[in-house]
Structure formats: structure tokens, C-alpha cells
Structure 1
């Protein structure tokens, strides 16, 4: 594996890039041996502050408060994090290793030999938000389905991982990803290549070792010799004007149509209001009931759906999810089972932590469908 090392010279600085697989025993051994042999002034690792803390204390994420997640509107971000980290953890389990072991080797060497440690990666929340804000609607749907259909039973060997570290194989994988998900490839790979390269070449000392996921090494190698706008890479894109205005169009249009209905006659106006409440409430309640939550959770979805649908700043799923998490508080055992349960829909229903997240998604989905149907009925009564 030593032949995979990439040695660069930049402004009288020697930079050694170590391509790794995050669940590979061989990668961890290579990191340890290279650091001992090269005795660098700085060790750069592909982590941000939050992931660094989580890696040092792997059980810290188990203290996640599901109620806080729902209140902070981070359900989608948490689910994405859980799926990706659980997939990596399960592969590591099959290989009888630990995810991030190669990063841990860098951290241990930094403490043992007094070497400067540089957290070279961008904040993971910034990366996820930049991806989400840049993706189109259909690209988001495609990504969600790819998460749902992710195959966790696929057998992966150490030999398979070493083949992926090969530069030719990596370029094929990156090219395929760019074709299927251009915005993800741009933000998750290429932007972070720039961010990582900036921090690596500006690390203290004349000899720097950088421990990177193998997918980043081709890009970082090129970016070392280019200029990067680090402030631009750290900026979260604002929502476009249309994305801000569109959520308000439906409620405003519904109010106008109801007013027109009452102008025609009182019965028409009342019929429109009935349609709005019935379709929103019934569909929100039915979709929420799919995951067999507490009865009060279903009632919460039924009661809140017609009102939250008129306010884009609110969502009935948040209220239903908070109700479920409060009435059926997740246990430590539920959190411990997430890596195994997250790839099985039936397990989501039995896991109180995952069920609360599922309630948020299903209640919002039901309410959204109800809004479309009710809106169509309201338009029909006017016509």
C-alpha cells in the first residue's frame, strides 16, 4: 500500500497524501507506519470539529435529544447522517474493524509524538446544507430513494477496499457519481477537495502528512497548486427568491378562492372550508397511522394539519413528531440499535427513536397530499 502514497512539493514544503478507506485495517496500518517513518511537523485529518469530537467519544451521538432535533428542523440532516454513518459502521463490523480507525491513528500519533494536528475538513452541516440548497427537486427525490434502496447486505472485503483505493478505479467511481448526482459530486467531493487542499498546504511546518479518504486524493493533489476562496466555500447559499415566495402562494391562493366562494354563496364557501379541513386532516392522520404511533400522535396530526398547511413556517409533522417523542421516549437501547434498524422499515416502527423521525416525515407527506387534493376541490367548486 505504500505505493499509493502521493508526495508533493509546495513552497519548500513536503506534503505526503495518504489515500485511505475509512473502514480498512490496512489503511490504519499504513497511516501509523508512515507517520513513524516520516516524522512530520503536522498531521492533517479529514475531519471537522464535530466529527473529531464524535470520533474521540463514539458514544456521544447516543445522547442526541430527538425533541431538540425536531424543534431545530434537522430531521432530514439527522436521517442522512444516521444512514451514512450506520452503513459505514456495518461495513466496518463485517471487516472486524472500527470506522475512522485511520483517523484515530493520526490523532494518537499527534498526542504520542507531540505533532501538530490540523482538522482540515469543512463543517459537515455546512456541506449538507450546501448540497441540499443546490439540488433540484427531482435530484432530491432521486437521492432519497437511493438512501431507501441502499443495500446493507452487500459483502465487502478488505481486498475490495484496496481495489477502490487504486487511482484508476477511483476516477471511474467519481465520474459515475458526477453523472448521477452532479450537485453532490461538486459539493461533497470537489468543494471539499479545495477546502482540504487549502488547509493542508497552510499547515504549520516543512513536512505535512494528510490522511484523506481515497476519493479526495486526486482532487486535493491538483488543488494544492491552485488558489482557493475559503470564505466562499464556507458560505451557505441563501434560498432563491422563488423558493421563498412559492410556499406562500398556495395559502394565499386558497384564501382568495374561499373568499370568492363566499361571494358566490355561503354554501360554496362552507363547502370549500370543509374540503380543506377534511382532506388535510384525514390524509395527515392516515399517513401518520402507518407507523403505528400513539393514538394522541395521530390526533395531533389530524388537528394541526389544516392550520399548518396555511403557514409555510410550520409543519404538522413537527407537532406530531414532538408528541410521539414525548409520549414514547426513546431509550438507550433504541439508540444503540439504530445502525441495525435503519435499513429495515419494520425496525423503524419498533425503534422509538426512528419512529419519531418517521412520524415527522409521514405526517408532513400526508398533509402535503391533502393540501393538493383539497386545493383542487376548492378550484372545482369555483369553476
Structure 2
């Protein structure tokens, strides 16, 4: 059952009117009992105003109006993308609860609005704008809390084995450049990398053939798994055991290409092995199914019981004190401000709010003097703590510029520096544009992202994905209604994962975010590959690492002498 409605009389001494009062109904947003409680309370109280825990945007969407287009200038900014992803995942969890109990999320608020309209009662929207809430929620969380939340939600909405494999791929991408740089110190020789390169090329070729042939007899995940298994088998047996591709590699690929392909293949192979091991452990000691299946054992009506709600709120507060402050405490105060104002104006109000907010709002209604200033509850907020991302970004920029300047001051010929810069430009352009195109970007959009990637990769205030995204928005119309489409796709358990992912790319909002994200990822990968592979190749022309160090010291001395001469 929903909590019994409480009436908070007021206003306090000195208020403009003495006959205003607030009746609070605490609800669960996916509870049919809550819907009935709301309808009965409004009919019995016949208030002047029904206040609901909604902002204008969510209210308009509930009324069936066309969702507002998203502001591209906000959506394409790095932190805003993560805030949106957090909002989307939280929305998905609520949607799953609603599906499980056959109640549309927000049915309690919709019932309040419809009942008010039936009785000719005005509706007041008393919640803070959702975009401000999510932004402040994200800014208040620490990096560790953000990673825990995203990781926990990821395990909740997908097969945990998939998460393990994805982690393995990330480990592999990071390990590849490390193998190229330090592999020689642990016995990883060029001939060994040549064998790995041959095995990787055989695996790719076999996978492509199996995928093409398998398309005639297999569908969806079966076709994908057959291609992966067949490719790995061909690579291991034909490449590693029998060395069938060694001659081809030695003849057609140089040492530089062998180092790149071999080290990345070895890194990815090791990363996938790590991921598969993690997946096996998950399979042995935990469920491999999405956690939302545990909802079957939950009594949704208990969500409105005071003790249960208190425990849930305290658990979230322990997980993220800052996040709880923005998501719960600040909204309690914001709604409290709105209700106190209505009560002071002499209105009889029935306020329909989530059960988790009820206790906090009632405290403010009982003693409005404890309300924090409204100015402290609105607007955006900067993240707390040390901005390590910006510090690292500026450090990279300074190091990159210093490298070229010091070499120039040491007298390194212009042709060498131009070729080095050209390599930096090309590798960034290829990877940024290539991954943007892989995400479905138009050629013009991918080209713009690739063209600016060399510059944005050393500037912490810019990202190539922003430019690609702005170009894509000339042809895409994204709005918040896309979230519902994504939730519907993710909730379909009857289709293959590959088909669901393919359809998700047809949703403009998801496509835009993936285009932006993969463009940025491409630039990051290119920067790592440049340092790990390209830079050592060029350094060999001027004496290797020792030669570069000597020239940079010489450039520093020349710069100091020049500056001293100007100042004297």
C-alpha cells in the first residue's frame, strides 16, 4: 500500500494567509496501488491545486506532446554525454520495473494530472528541471562512484560475460603499444611478432570467409559466433602452430608494419584471454543473466513502506553522498520551497511525490526556516575535487608543443619536422575518421572530424567528436523521445543481440552519441599508436631515444641563451 496521506497545516506565524494546507501522498512510480491512492486522495480532499513531482519537460512528454529537440551545444559536450548516459540507464531500470509489474513508469503522476483535470483542479509542477538535476548529480559524484555506477548498471542490463569480454578488449588495446615499446626487454622478438602477425591475418581472413558463407545458413548471433570461433581456430592452428603465413608476412610486410600488427594482435589476444577468464569466473561464481531478472522476487508495493524507503535512501547515500545530495536532498528542498509558497498563498494542495522524498519534504514544511536559499538549488555546478583530466590534457599539450619547439631550436632540419607532423596528422585523421564512419557517420562528417583530430588530440578544451557531431546534426533530428525507443529495444529479449544493436544505430540519438564517442576514441588510439610506433621510427633517424634526448637538451640550452640574450 502507498503511505497514508499526511496533511501539513500552515502557514507558520507571520505568513500571508492562515488557511493554506498541504496533503502529501508518497508513491512508488511503478505501483498500481499508488495510482489508486492518488485518485482516492484527490477525490476525497478536493484541493485547490494538485502538485506533482514533475518539471515542465517531463509534464509535456506525459501529455503526449512532441518531445523537445535536444540542444546540440549541450549534448555534444563531453560531460553532458556522460550525464545523458547516466539518465538513460536510470530510465531503463525504471522502464524494466514498469514492464515487470505492468505499470507505466510515472503512472502515479499521470493519475494525479488526469484526476485533477476531471475535477477541474489546477496542476502545479514543483520539481526541479531534470537536466539541472542530472548535471548536478553527475558533478557531485567522484570518479570512483561514477565508474561503480556505470559498471553496476552495465552488469544489470547485459550479460555479464559480455562485460568481461569488453573489459578484455580495453586491456588489449592498452597492452599492444606497451608490447611494442618494452617487448624486446622480455624476449618478444621481431620474428615472433611476424608469426603473430601471420596468425592474426589468417584469423581475419578465415572469419570473413565464414561470415560470408555462413550468412546463407546461419542468422544473428550464431553467424557471429561461428565466424569468431572459426577465425580463432585458423589463426591458432594455421598461423601459430604451422606458420603458414610466415613467408607472406616476411615478403610483403616490413618491420614497422610487423611491429604494429604483431604487438596489437598479441595485446588483443592477451586481453581477450583475460576477458574470457573473467567471463568463466563470472559463470562459475555468479549469474550470467542480467540482474533485472531478480525483480521477480520484489514486492513493488513495499517500495512505499517508510522503513524500506529509508533503507534504500541510506544505501544510496553510502554509495554516493554527493550524488544523494543532488538527487534527493536538493530536490526535497526545491519541492519544499514550492509547496511552502503555495501554502503561504492560502491554497489547499495535494502533493504527489515519490515516497523517498516524503520525509525530507515534510521536515521542511514543518519548519520552513531550515530551507536552504533557492539560489543554491538551481543552475549547473562544476565538478568537485582535483580536475585530473584537464591537468593531464594541458600536460600533453605542453609536452607536444615543447617537443617540436626544442627540436627546432636544436637545429633539426625542417623537412624532418614536417614529415613528423605529417605522420601525426595522417594517423589521427585515419583513426578518427575511420571510427566515425564505422559508427555510421556520413563521409563529410567523418572527414571534418579526421581533419581536426591532430589539433583536438593535444587540446583538452576540444574534441574531434564535437565537430563530427555538429556535421551529423545537419541530417539528424534527435529528441528525448529517442530514449523510449532505446528502452524498448533493450527490453526485447526475443531478438539476437546483433539485431538489437543494429536497430539501436537507427535511433538518431544513439547514432549521434556513438559517432561522437568513436571519433574521440579514434583520436585517442591514434595518439597512443603515434607515441608507441611512429615516434620511435622517426627517432631512429636522429640517433634513437638517446639522440632525441640530446637534441632536446640542446634545444633547451639554445632557447635559454636566446631568452637571456633578449632580456639583457
Same fold per superposition (TM over 0.5): yes
**1:323–1:250 Cα change, 3 Å:** same
Alignment partners' CA distance in 1, 2:32 and 2:141? 35
Q: Aligned to 1:184, which of 313, 319, 323?
A: 323
C-alpha contact (below 8 Å) 1:110/1:116 kept by paired residues:
yes
Query: 1:44 maps to which residue?
Result: 51
Q: Residue 67 of structure 1: CA displacement?
A: 6.0
Query: 1:17 maps to which residue?
Result: 24
Alignment partners' CA distance in 2, 1:339 and 1:374? 39
Q: Residue 346 of structure 1: CA displacement?
A: 4.9
C-alpha contact (below 8 Å) 2:42/2:116 kept by paired residues:
no
SS of alignment partner, residue 44 of structure 2: helix
Alignment of 1:317-356 (within 5 A): 317-324=465-472, 326=474, 337-341=485-489, 345-356=501-512
Q: Residue 231 of structure 1: CA displacement?
A: 0.9
C-alpha contact (below 8 Å) 1:18/1:211 kept by paired residues:
yes
C-alpha contact (below 8 Å) 1:325/1:353 kept by paired residues:
no
Query: 1:30 maps to which residue?
Result: 37
Q: Does 1:212 align with 2:349?
A: no
Query: 2:517 maps to which residue?
Result: 361
Alignment partners' CA distance in 1, 2:525 and 2:299? 44
Q: Residue 286 of structure 1: CA displacement?
A: 5.3
Q: Deviations over 1:247-270 (max 9, x none)?
A: 444323311221112223237644
Q: Aligned to 1:175, which of 301, 314, 321?
A: 314
Alignment partners' CA distance in 1, 2:34 and 2:517? 38
**1:45–1:327 Cα change, 3 Å:** closer
Moved more, 191-200 or 333-342: 333-342
Q: Does 1:103 align with 2:247?
A: no
C-alpha contact (below 8 Å) 2:436/2:518 kept by paired residues:
yes
Query: 2:198 maps to which residue?
Result: none
Query: 2:552 maps to which residue?
Result: none
Which structure has the greater CA radius of gyration? 2
Q: Residue 297 of structure 1: CA displacement?
A: 5.0
C-alpha contact (below 8 Å) 2:27/2:354 kept by paired residues:
yes
In structure 2, runs of 5+ residues without a counterpart are 13-17, 159-289, 492-499, 540-544, 550-568
C-alpha contact (below 8 Å) 1:258/1:272 kept by paired residues:
no
Query: 2:273 maps to which residue?
Result: none
Q: Residue 88 of structure 1: CA displacement?
A: 2.9
C-alpha contact (below 8 Å) 1:24/1:158 kept by paired residues:
no
Alignment of 1:259-338 (within 5 A): 259-264=405-410, 265-266=412-413, 269-270=417-418, 272-274=420-422, 276-285=424-433, 287-288=435-436, 291=439, 293-294=441-442, 297-324=445-472, 326=474, 337-338=485-486
Q: Residue 86 of structure 1: CA displacement?
A: 4.1
**RMSD of aligned residue pairs (Cα, Å):** 3.7
Query: 1:228 maps to which residue?
Result: 372
In structure 1, runs of 5+ residues without a counterpart are none
Alignment partners' CA distance in 2, 1:330 and 1:238? 26
Q: Residue 66 of structure 1: CA displacement?
A: 8.5
Alignment partners' CA distance in 2, 1:202 and 1:124? 21
Alignment partners' CA distance in 2, 1:234 and 1:38? 32
Alignment of 1:43-82 (within 5 A): 43-57=50-64, 60-61=66-67, 64=69, 70=75, 74-82=80-88
Alignment partners' CA distance in 2, 1:118 and 1:330? 28
TM-score by length of 1: 0.82
**1:145–1:277 Cα change, 3 Å:** farther
TM-score by length of 2: 0.58
Alignment partners' CA distance in 1, 2:86 and 2:25? 27
**1:68–1:236 Cα change, 3 Å:** closer
Query: 2:4 maps to which residue?
Result: 4
Moved more, 42-51 or 216-225: 216-225
**1:107–1:176 Cα change, 3 Å:** same
